[in-house]
Every structure is written in C-alpha cells, then in structure tokens.
C-alpha cells in the first residue's frame, strides 16, 4: 500500500467516525425499540449512465416491508417512493436508462410497476391474479419477462389443496410495458427458478421438468422468446443459483459448487453452447455472495471473508484483485469507470451508502440512520481461538465500555443461524440483540464455528453429519477462552440464537448445565420431523441424507434425543406460519421441557413466518429476552 492510499484511508476512517457520532463515554442502556430502529440498506442498482441509484431500505417501524428509494448521485438527494406499510423491491433500470421498474403491492397483489426515471407516478405493467414473483428487462428495453402463476390456477383458499399440483407452478411471461399485453412462453408443468435474457429473442432459464422431485434437478435451457422452443445449454453442479448472462450475451454464469453442497459459493462461467462451464473463482476459497458482470471479461465480486464482506475485481483467467475498503460491504454496484457505490458498516458504524471513486477516494453518500443518533455502540474485539482439535475459530466479543473491571459480568453466547451462515461486522438483528444486552451490563459473544460461511471450503463442510459435534465444541472452546481472561462470571452464562442458532442452543442445554438461561427462536428439535415437514428438505439433505435411510444420523443430531438431560430455563419463540423450521419444532421442545420439569415459556406470533417482521412483535421479543436473562443471570440486589 502506498503512502497516498494510506493517507486517504486514514482520512476516510476519521470522516466515518465523525459522521456516525460513535462517541466515547458512558453507555446509556438501549431500549428494545431503540435497538431495532436501524435501517438496513440493500439491493443497490445504478442507472446505466451512473446518475441515479435505486436501492431498498428495510426498517422495523415499517414492519420490515422493503421500501424503494431513488437517489440523484450528483446532489445526494434521495426519496422514498413507497407508500407506508406497502412493500416494493427488485428495482431494475431499463437498459436504455429511461425507465425504472420494480415489484410493488401498493394496489394489492405484487405486480411489476414502471416509471420514468425523472419521477412520474409509477404505473402497473402487469395485472396477475396471484401476483408476480420476479422480472427482468429485455436487452433492447422493449419487453419485460416475468414469472407468475396462470390466472386460471387454483387459489390457496379455493377448496381442497392438491399436493404438487402443476397448475400452481409459475410460468414465464413476456409483456410490452407500453401496450401491457402479456403472453406466456414455454410449456406448462415446468418449474422455473430463475431466468435471464440472452438477447431480445432468447431467454436463459434455470428450470426442471421434474417439479415433484424434492431434490435439486435444475438445468440451464435457452428458450425462444418467439415460440418457446428450447434447447439444453448446460447442467451446472447442484445446487446452483444466481444465473447471469455476460454483457455481450455470449456466456453465462451461475453460483455453484463442485462438491454438491451445502450451498453455492463459487462462480462458474461457460460459453453458451460451448460446453465449457468451469469454476472460475476456486482460487479465492471464499464464498461469493454477489456478482456484477460489467464487461465480457470483468466481474466484480462481494466475498464473505470472516467477519468482513470484501470486494474483488476479477478478470477472467487472472487472479482476483481485492479492492481496499475501510468497512464491510452489504451490497454494491459499479460505475462505468470502475468506481464503486456500496453499503458499508462494521461493529462501530451503522450502515450507510458510500462511493469509492476510481482513484480510490471514498465519500459518504447518505445519512439514513435515524433513532440511534448519539447512541454509543459497545466496544467489539475480533479474536481467534484454537479449538479442541487445533482448528482456528474466529469470534467477536462485545463488552460494555464503561463497566467496572472489578466485577465479573454475565455473558450471553449468541449463535448464528444457517448453519452455513456467519456473523459479520455490522448491525442487524443479531447485533441489535447483542448491543441491547451489552448496554444493560452483559458481555455478548459471537462465534463463527466450523460450518460457518466466510472461511475456506473445507471449513464450511466440516460439520457435515455432525451438528452438535465439532461446532458445539468450537463454541465451548471460545467460551472457555473468554472466561479465562477473568472478566466474565462463569456462574452467570446464557446462550441463545435463531434458527440453527436456536437449534445449537437447544443442543447445548442437553449437553451441559453451565448455562443458566437459554433463548431458542424458530429452532429444530427433532431432525426427522423437521425434514418431513419443512419447505426445503433438499437444503438439509447434503448434511444428513434422509431419515428413512439414515435414521441413526438424524437421531444422533437431534436435541430431542438428549432432552431429558436439560435443566436450563428456556424461552422459546416462533412464527405460527414458519415453513422453514415449522412451529411444531418449537412446540415439541416446549412440551418436552415441561414434561421434564424445566422452567420454560413459549411465545408464538400469528401471521409470522421464520423471522417475525412486525415491529411490535420484535419489540416484544427483545423485551422478553432482556427480562429472561435478567431474571436468571443478574445477581439479586
């Protein structure tokens, strides 16, 4: 790094610290509403000429409904286009730059809307009875392709529901945005998961003609936009997602993996009809989260690297080049000259939008965060610990900056979901949970155990068939290392998490009694029952196989098998409409704990799925979480 770059980075960091008002001093306890008042910024899209930026903002005061914002880059003026309590997402500028299209439910079912970039009132382009799932502009801006069920398909409230009824599959439609006349493309009975225009006459589609099979069976086909005829283009390794077409229409890419799971992580690139699809990013040995294809030979990648998301410029056939940025990146887009607009944040800074110019200088573009002005974010230390077998484990410890050092503090171990997810340096729901606790006198420990994303491929695959084995031991090894430092009271330990984090919390209370309080949100209690009722069994099959042929593995990895050992008071949450880890899992845990005489409470939220979205419900959860830990971990006064 040269001196000029070092100075620029220093000045940027100073500016960021100033703008975000992260001040030293006494830490005022956060209220649950304050902790949840942040804005999450996502899905950045630049207009073709780089003058406009469309992006999505999520807030709990809007019940986490995505809000569409449009910004003028030159002035920095940004406005929210979305009516209150409505949801708008997936912004896309037409290739000619004249029109912004997006999905909106402002008038009922989600439809494609379009508006001139200069700001006229959006107009619905589609009028599907069951709404639209996804859409893309044609390269000539003359048409929009979209996925939607046929209007004649049976509704969810129209009598008996037939499993795997092919009439309910989404079809590919093409609409003229001006005439608003739509026609279907391709055959019925095909399950379409993704599509992209190759050119104005051909569309690449990720689909399968075996929709009843609950496995990953998609392939890439080219469909004629005129008559729907198709030809096979390629069969990427399963599972794959994120289909893209090169700017010249001659190649395509997907995110996939050579080893059949657990998740897509590498970018595979191949020429259309050349049969040369290959893993182009294997050398990174990190998971690619997002990709922008700016010219036929150049991709820009957002890569998960431990607690930070980083940007790489990747020229096909060459080594990826890391772009130096002072913050972790949540979303980004690229200007024609190589400048980058990105959402940046870390443990000290709430997310905002920044521009990194082609010369490397960085400036903050937005000041969207409201409700946390002047709030001090607690000190976070990222560190490494050797686990039981020598594996290097990365973790973050969040501590009250003004806590007296003479008194040992209670600590809560928060476990991330996934399992192939990871904690990142930033501020989202898990970090809000942690900051809430720390502002009330706790330490919060965030660990990325084996199986986590953001590290090498071997690391993410290291908990296959072993949920609650090495990953649990990693958590305990890091916890022991923190306790050994002397500031944590080993008799006042809590644990908690959501989804896989809840599952691991449930597992922990069956393996040890060292935790005095636990919180489990939307977890898995019985692996076989969950596999038989969840919405995506194929998502878990890589880990454990199926329960009818591998029953022992499912039992060995289930908290239910060992629940009679539990003694830890446990607070349980779930959404009544959860299809990811169906609510029966939470009910089973609650019933078992009651049976064995363990103190427990269960709170279920009507109308909510795997992650409750309503502000009132999330405030309720945070209030209950804080009260639960306080009642079991705080010393009596």
Q: Percentage of residues in the chain with pLDDT exceeding 90?
A: 85
Is a pLDDT exceeding 90 seen at residue 187?
A: no
Quick check: helix, strand or coil at residue 394? strand
User: What pLDDT shows up at residue 96?
Assistant: 97
417: exposed, middle or buried (Cβ count in 10 Å: 0-12, 13-18, 19+):
buried
| Per-residue b or e along 117-147, where b marks 16 or more CB atoms closer than 10 Å to that residue's CB | beeeebeebbbbebbbbbbbbbbebebbbbb
Secondary structure string (H, E, C) spanning 491-535: EEEEEEEECHHHHHHHHHHHHCCCEEEEEEECCCCCHHHHHHHCC
pLDDT in tens, 318-331: 889 999 999 999 99
Over residues 473-485, mean pLDDT: 98
Pick the CATH number of 379-633 from 3.40.630.30, 3.30.420.40, 3.40.50.1820, 2.60.40.10: 3.40.50.1820
For residue 133, name the pLDDT band (cuts at 50, 70, 90). very high
373 or 127: which carries more pLDDT confidence?
Answer: 127
The rounded distance, in Å, linking the Cα atoms of 29 and 634 is 15
Coil vs helix vs strand at 477: helix
Instruction: Give every CB contact of residue 114 below 8 A, 6+ residues apart in sequence.
Output: 99, 100, 101, 102, 122, 123, 125, 144, 177
Assess whether pLDDT exceeds 60 at residue 18.
Answer: no
The predicted-structure confidence for 378-404, as pLDDT tens digits, reads as follows 999 999 999 999 999 999 999 998 766
Contacts of 69 (CB under 8 A, 6+ apart): 54, 55, 56, 57, 78, 79, 80, 81
| pLDDT > 70: percent of the chain | 95
Closest CA to 423 of 398, 452, 463: 452
Q: Is the pLDDT of residue 1 over 80?
A: no
Calculate the dihedral angle through the C-alpha atoms of 543, 267, 333, 422, rounding to the nearest 10 degrees. 20
pLDDT of 351 > 50? The answer is yes
Alpha carbons 622 and 262: distance in angstroms, whole number = 32
Averaged pLDDT score across all residues of the chain: 92
What average pLDDT does this structure show over 365-373? Answer: 85
The predicted structure's pLDDT at residue 164: 86
What average pLDDT does the segment 264-281 reach?
Answer: 94
Average pLDDT value for residue range 613-625:
98
| Mean pLDDT, rounded, for 440-457 | 97
Residue 17 pLDDT exceeds 50: no
Tell me phi and psi for residue 591, to 5 degrees. -65, -40
Q: Are 489 and 629 in contact (CB under 8 A)?
A: no
**Residue 4 β-bridge partners:** none
Residue 285, pLDDT above cutoff 90: yes
pLDDT reported for residue 161: 87
Lowest mean pLDDT among 7-21, 467-481, 501-515: 7-21
Tell me, what's the pLDDT at 118? 85
Residue 15 in this model has a pLDDT that exceeds 60: no
Name the least confident of 12-26, 56-70, 172-186, 599-613.
12-26
- List the single range of 2-6, 460-464, 465-469, 591-595 with lowest mean pLDDT: 2-6
Q: What is the pLDDT of residue 24?
A: 37
pTM of the prediction? 0.93
pLDDT at 547: 96
Q: Which two tokens stand for residue 546?
A: 């199926």
Which of the two residues, 187 and 584, has the higher pLDDT score?
584
Mean pLDDT value across residues 15-44: 72
Rounded mean pLDDT, 238-254: 96
Phi and psi at residue 417, in whole multiples of 5°?
A: -80, -170
Residue 372 pLDDT class (50, 70, 90 cuts): confident
Pair of tokens at residue 118 = 């200069």
Cα atoms found within 13 Å of the Cα of residue 194, Cβ hemisphere only = 16
- Identify the pLDDT of residue 6: 34
Q: Greater confidence, 562 or 22?
A: 562
Closest CA to 504 of 446, 566, 567, 558: 558
pLDDT band at 9 (very low <50, low <70, confident <90, very high): very low
CA 115, distance to chain mean position in Å, is: 29
- Residue among 474, 478, 520, 514 at smallest CA distance from 501: 520
Q: State pLDDT tens for residues 193-210.
A: 999 999 999 999 999 999
Q: What is the pLDDT of residue 536?
A: 92
The per-residue pLDDT for range 142-180, each reduced to its tens digit, is 999 999 999 999 988 878 888 888 999 999 999 999 887
Q: Cα separations (Å) of 619 from 62, 241, 370, 431, 540?
A: 13, 34, 17, 15, 31
pLDDT at 413 over 60: yes
């Amino acid at each position: 790094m040269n001196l000029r770059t070092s100075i620029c980075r220093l000045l940027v960091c100073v500016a960021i610290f100033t703008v975000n008002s992260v001040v030293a001093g006494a830490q005022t306890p956060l209220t649950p509403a304050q902790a949840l008042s942040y804005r999450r910024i996502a899905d950045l899209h630049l207009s073709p000429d780089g003058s406009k930026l469309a992006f999505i903002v999520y807030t709990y005061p809007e019940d986490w409904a995505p809000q569409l914002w449009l910004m003028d880059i030159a002035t920095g003026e940004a406005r929210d286009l979305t009516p209150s309590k409505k949801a708008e997402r997936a912004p896309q500028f037409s290739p000619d730059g004249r029109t912004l299209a997006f999905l909106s439910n402002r008038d009922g079912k989600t439809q494609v809307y379009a508006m001139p970039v200069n700001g006229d009132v959006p107009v619905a382009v589609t009028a599907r009875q069951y709404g639209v799932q996804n859409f893309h502009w044609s390269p000539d801006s003359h048409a929009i392709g979209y996925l939607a069920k046929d209007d004649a398909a049976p509704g969810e409230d129209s009598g008996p529901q037939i499993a795997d009824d092919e009439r309910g599959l989404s079809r590919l439609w093409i609409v003229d945005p001006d005439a608003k006349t739509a026609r279907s493309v391709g055959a019925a009975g095909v399950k379409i998961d993704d599509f992209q225009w190759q050119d104005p006459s051909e569309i690449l589609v990720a689909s399968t003609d075996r929709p009843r099979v609950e496995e990953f069976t998609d392939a890439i086909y080219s469909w004629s936009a005129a008559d729907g005829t198709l030809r096979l283009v390629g069969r990427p390794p399963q599972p794959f997602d994120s289909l893209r077409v090169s700017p010249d229409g001659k190649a395509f890419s997907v995110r996939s993996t050579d080893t059949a799971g657990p998740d897509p992580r590498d970018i595979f690139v191949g020429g259309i009809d050349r049969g040369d699809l290959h893993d182009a990013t294997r050398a990174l040995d990190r998971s690619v989260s997002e990709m922008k294809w700016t010219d036929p030979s150049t991709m820009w990648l957002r890569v998960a690297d431990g607690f930070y998301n980083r940007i790489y410029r990747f020229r096909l056939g060459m080594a990826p080049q890391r772009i130096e940025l002072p913050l972790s990146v949540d979303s980004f887009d690229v200007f024609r000259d190589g400048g980058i607009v990105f959402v940046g944040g870390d443990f000290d800074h709430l997310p905002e939008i920044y521009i990194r110019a082609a010369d490397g200088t960085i400036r903050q573009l937005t000041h969207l965060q409201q409700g946390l002005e002047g709030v001090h974010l607690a000190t976070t230390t990222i560190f490494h610990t050797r686990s039981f077998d020598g594996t290097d484990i990365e973790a973050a410890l969040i501590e009250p900056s003004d806590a007296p050092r003479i008194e040992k503090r209670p600590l809560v171990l928060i476990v991330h979901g996934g399992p192939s997810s990871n904690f990142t340096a930033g501020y989202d729901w898990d970090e809000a949970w942690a900051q809430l606790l720390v502002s009330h006198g706790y330490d919060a420990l965030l660990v990325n155990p084996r199986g986590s994303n953001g590290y090498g491929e071997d690391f993410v695959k290291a908990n296959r068939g072993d949920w609650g084995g090495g990953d649990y031991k990693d958590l305990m090894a890091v916890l022991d290392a923190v306790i050994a430092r002397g500031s944590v009271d080993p008799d006042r330990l809590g644990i908690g998490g959501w989804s896989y984090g809840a599952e691991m919390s449930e597992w922990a209370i069956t393996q040890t009694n060292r935790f005095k309080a636990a919180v489990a949100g939307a977890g898995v209690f019985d692996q076989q029952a969950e596999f038989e009722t969840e919405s995506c069994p194929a998502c878990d099959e890589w880990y454990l196989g199926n329960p009818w042929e591998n029953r022992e593995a499912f039992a060995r990895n289930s908290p239910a098998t060992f629940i009679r050992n539990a003694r830890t008071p446990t607070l349980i949450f779930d959404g009544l409409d959860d299809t990811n880890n169906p609510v029966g899992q939470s009910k089973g845990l609650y019933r078992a704990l009651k049976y064995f005489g363990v103190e427990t409470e269960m709170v279920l939220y009507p109308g909510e799925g795997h992650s409750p979205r309503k502000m009132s419900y999330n405030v309720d959860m945070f209030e209950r979480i804080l009260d639960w830990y306080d009642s079991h971990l705080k010393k009596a006064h």
